[in-house]
């Protein structure tokens, strides 16, 4: 309890928050991820230095940086998030399996501008509650869905940004067709981030055509020796407006 109370107090005094992208832009925004390994890919870049990569991503045109803070599956930590948030001018997303308010407070205290909430892993009631806590701390809840039956709960929780993950978290299979279908069902007024399976500029163009406003790119840029150029190669793709 003492740690939870300390984090709650620290969250109220966290660093200034940088606005997380969401407003429509002419081109699809690229959110680049600090990622050492994953359950589906194994080791991606074990020697990845979060600061070096994050700075390179921003130079390459990333509108935000995602930092994986789960140690067991991704080799990340809250210290990675804290150091990245302090070192770059871009907003930072905490990406983790967030299931309680302590993790939200921890994210705010570390300097996050947004927190990923995965609809699949919490109840609709808890999703709504956690999203409210994120907003109360002036951060953005990025609510992620993978299947159509998760969309109603996600929309009811009032996402500032909605993530559509092409990867099935149960099987790790990536299918961009699933993402395309779901993106088309999101109301036009809610910015959509397409997650997983983005390897090339053609992938960004495909998801843009489906109505994605942003893409979250992890493995394909984290593993590169020149992450700046890897991000730059994905930027500048024209955004397409979704039908209301």
Which residue is catalytic, options 165, 180, 220, 228? Answer: 165
The answer to whether residue 140 scores a pLDDT higher than 60 is yes
Q: Are strands 214-217 and 29-34 parallel, antiparallel or unpaired?
A: parallel
The C-alpha atoms of residue 53 and residue 185 are separated, in whole angstroms, by: 34
In a domain? residue 240:
no
Active site residue 33: yes
Q: What is the CATH number of the domain that holds 90?
A: 3.20.20.70
Record the pTM: 0.93
Residue 21: inside a domain? no
User: What is the residue-wise DSSP string for 167-202?
Assistant: B-TTT--B-HHHHHHHHTTS-TTS-EEEES---SHH
Find the radius of gyration of the CA atoms of the chain. Answer: 16
The total number of structural domains in the chain stands at 1
What pLDDT score was predicted for residue 3? 78
**Active site (annotated) includes residue 13:** no
Neighbours of 155 (CB within 10 A): 17
pLDDT tens per residue across span 200-239: 999 999 999 999 999 999 889 988 889 999 999 999 999 9
- pLDDT of residue 244 exceeding 70, the answer is no
Is 106 inside a domain boundary? yes
Would you state the pLDDT for residue 14?
Answer: 80
Q: Active-site residue 196, yes or no?
A: yes
What whole-number percentage of the chain has pLDDT above 70?
96
Catalytic residue among 38, 95, 150, 228: 95
- Based on the residue annotation, tell me whether 165 is a catalytic residue of this protein: yes
pLDDT tens per residue, range 151-199: 999 999 988 899 999 988 778 888 899 999 999 999 988 999 999 889 9
Q: Is residue 241 part of a domain?
A: no
- Active site residue: 101, 106, 144, 180, which one? 144
**Looking at the domain assignment, is residue 165 inside a domain?**
yes
In the set 101, 106, 180, 195, the catalytic residue is 195
Write down the catalytic residue from 66, 113, 196, 220.
Answer: 196
Confirm whether 205 is a catalytic residue: no
- Identify whether 126 is a catalytic site residue: no
Catalytic residue among 35, 38, 82, 83: 35
Tracing tokens 């599956």 back to the chain, one arrives at: 73
Beta strands in the chain (DSSP E): 29-34, 37-38, 42-43, 64-68, 92-95, 114-118, 140-145, 161-165, 192-195, 214-217
> Is 138 one of the annotated active-site residues of the chain?
no
C-beta separation of 90 from 64 below 8 A: yes
Q: Answer whether residue 61 is part of any domain.
A: yes
Query: Which residue segment(s) compose the domain that 7 sits in?
Result: 2-15+26-232
The whole-number pLDDT of residue 129 equals: 97
Within a domain: 238: no
Confirm whether 125 is domain-assigned.
Answer: yes
Integer Cα distance of 184 and 177 in angstroms? 11
| Integer Cα distance of 28 and 237 in angstroms | 6
Length of the chain: 244
């Amino acid at each position: 309890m003492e740690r939870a109370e300390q984090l709650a107090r620290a969250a109220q005094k966290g660093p200034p928050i940088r606005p997380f992208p969401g407003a429509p832009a002419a081109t699809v925004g690229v959110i680049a991820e600090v990622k050492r390994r994953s359950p589906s890919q194994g080791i991606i870049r074990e020697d990845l230095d979060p600061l070096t990569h994050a700075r390179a991503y921003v130079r390459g045109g990333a509108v935000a940086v995602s930092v994986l803070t789960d140690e067991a599956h991704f080799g990340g930590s809250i210290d990675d998030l804290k150091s990245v948030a302090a070192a770059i001018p871009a907003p930072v997303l905490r990406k983790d399996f967030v299931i309680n308010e302590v993790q939200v407070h921890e994210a705010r205290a570390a300097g996050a501008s947004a927190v990923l909430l995965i609809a699949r892993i919490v109840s609709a009631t808890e999703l709504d509650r956690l999203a409210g806590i994120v907003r109360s701390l002036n951060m953005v809840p990025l609510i992620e869905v993978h299947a159509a039956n998760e969309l109603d709960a996600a929309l009811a929780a009032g996402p500032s940004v909605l993530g559509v993950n092409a990867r099935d978290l149960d099987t790790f299979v990536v299918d961009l067709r699933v993402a395309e279908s779901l993106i088309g069902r999101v109301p036009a007024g809610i910015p959509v981030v397409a997650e997983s399976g983005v390897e090339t500029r053609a992938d960004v163009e495909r998801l843009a055509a489906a109505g994605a406003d942003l893409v979250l790119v992890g493995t394909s840029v984290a593993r590169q020796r020149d992450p700046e150029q890897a991000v730059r190669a994905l930027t500048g793709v024209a955004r397409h407006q979704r039908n209301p």
